[in-house]
Amino acid sequence: MATPAKPVPPLLEKTSQSARLFEEAAQCIPGGITANIKHFDPYPLFMESASGARMRDVDGNEYIDYNLCYGALMLGHGHPGVRRAVAEQWETMGSFVFGAPHALEAEMARKLIDLYPGIELIRFTNSGLEATMLAVRLARGWTEKRKIAKFEGHYHGGYDPMLINVQSRNRKRGERPRPVVDSRGVLDEYQDQTVVLPFNDWEASLEILEEEKNDLAGVILEPVQGGFIPPDPVFLRSLREWTNKQEIPLIFDEVKTGFRLGLSGAQGRYGITPDLTTLGKVLGGGFPVGAVGGRRAILETASPVHRGDVLSGNENQTHSRDVLFHSGTYNGHPTVLAAGLATISHLEYEGVFAKVEEATRLLRNGMEEILARWGCSGSTLGDGTIFNVMLSEQPVQNGTKRDAAYPCLRRELDIHLLERGIYIKPMNRFSLSTAHTPDVVAETLDRFEEGVKRLTGKE
């Protein structure tokens, strides 16, 4: 006789230590979290340790991790090659950071120039946010124009000019997206400097772009919206052709897609070369990082050589506005670059990246099959090693509410999955790593099926 499955305790019952730590943290940290994205109801889970594809929370519950620090950990947690590289950097260099140039900077720069078709020169930053901020400044400096076009529903980091239309809003058919500030504390003035476009809708985007083109310094987008809504190929090609013709820099924000849609990111995958590229997440191998690369002529505007800039105190300085200022105490941090280089070189071994893609396919197919078997309308959407579960009967084009892509069922499913040891940030995308082997995927699918059965009341 088959043994009946053990009942799974609800999340609140099994995570009392997380609840306690959350309460304590909320006494001294607003909302108990250091990045708003880490919050979810009833409280975020506090983690204690991790290895490979798995994380353990402070109550001793183990999870298969599909958040992977929002996609950053392409080799999973604590990869030995990355550990070795960091330890070696500390040993051989004798310091954590010099505050002066060192060889790893050019080594990483050459690597990225080799891999990314759109990168001829590169600068490093400490986060994806700083990278897109610099990219926007470069575009404005290069064109000497004012406005930036961004797409509705695209995230480029939590700073003032980009906290506009991060959220997709319901619109009537044919209605244009209107710039709307998405955070308290952000001046309405930023709306006037921003042009908002609908993703994957070339006809509507073109109409707006044509009207605004004389003021446009650049167009920035996530080539794959939210990391999981792929671009329509005609849309992306048309955008590239139009921006080329108008000589308006096109910025691919590849913070999510870099090293996740292949080693050359979305630009390699779709064969479209932007003028500027921003990277982050996987590039740091688990440490804070960002980078902006692009056309030589545009990047050269940041070079202070023979000119001086605002902080150089150089008497021969022409004028501070001749040089595009970019700086940062920790830019090009040796530990971060050592970890990043170790990550990339592991991914470059033959077959390594393909295996993660194969595991992703296996997981997506399995999930779709389970959803269908238990009568739950839904599918998965994504490309490369990132995807999302869409509990919707309608195809998703750009994530507006019109697509009806996020019914509350999904949130409920996510809680059932957390209870069963699958870690995702509720409503967020799934990312895989080299540690997500076929065995791990099979285990995930068993737990996923239990979660779906619970969701559909067929447990």
Ligand X SMILES: Cc1ncc(COP(=O)(O)O)c(C=O)c1O
Q: Active-site positions?
A: 155, 253, 281
DSSP symbol at 277: E
**What is the nearest approach in angstroms of ligand X to the Cβ of residue 177?**
18
**What is the nearest approach in angstroms of ligand X to the Cβ of residue 309?**
24
Select 166 or 440, whichever has its Cβ closest to ligand X.
166
The DSSP code sequence of 323-359 is S-----TTTT-HHHHHHHHHHHHHHHSTTHHHHHHHH
**What is the nearest approach in angstroms of ligand X to the Cβ of residue 326?**
16
Number of alpha carbons in the 13 Å side-chain half-sphere of residue 308: 11
How far is Cα 355 from Cα 350, in angstroms, rounded to an integer?
A: 10
Select 116 or 155, whichever has its Cβ closest to ligand X.
155
- Under a CB-based contact definition with an 8 Å cutoff, are residues 161 and 136 in contact? yes
Select 263 or 370, whichever has its Cβ closest to ligand X.
263
User: How much of the chain is helix, strand and coil, in % rounded to 5?
Assistant: 40, 15, 45
H helices within 94-127, ranges in order? 103-115
- Under a CB-based contact definition with an 8 Å cutoff, are residues 85 and 286 in contact? no
Select 255 or 342, whichever has its Cβ closest to ligand X.
255
**Nearest Cα to Cα of residue 363 among 351, 375, 383, 380:** 380
Select 118 or 280, whichever has its Cβ closest to ligand X.
280
**What is the nearest approach in angstroms of ligand X to the Cβ of residue 198?**
18
**What is the nearest approach in angstroms of ligand X to the Cβ of residue 455?**
28
How far is Cα 431 from Cα 257, in angstroms, rounded to an integer?
A: 11
**What is the nearest approach in angstroms of ligand X to the Cβ of residue 403?**
20
Strand order in the sheet with 276-279: 121-125, 290-294, 276-279, 250-253, 216-221, 147-151, 194-197
**What is the nearest approach in angstroms of ligand X to the Cβ of residue 256?**
4
Number of alpha carbons in the 13 Å side-chain half-sphere of residue 228: 22
Select 124 or 448, whichever has its Cβ closest to ligand X.
124
- Under a CB-based contact definition with an 8 Å cutoff, are residues 386 and 227 in contact? yes
Q: Which residues bind ligand X (CB under 6 A)?
A: 70, 127-129, 132, 155-157, 222, 253, 255-256, 280, 290
Select 288 or 358, whichever has its Cβ closest to ligand X.
288
DSSP 3-state of 225: strand
- Under a CB-based contact definition with an 8 Å cutoff, are residues 248 and 217 in contact? yes
How far is Cα 342 from Cα 18, in angstroms, rounded to an integer?
A: 33
Residue nearest to ligand X (CB): 128
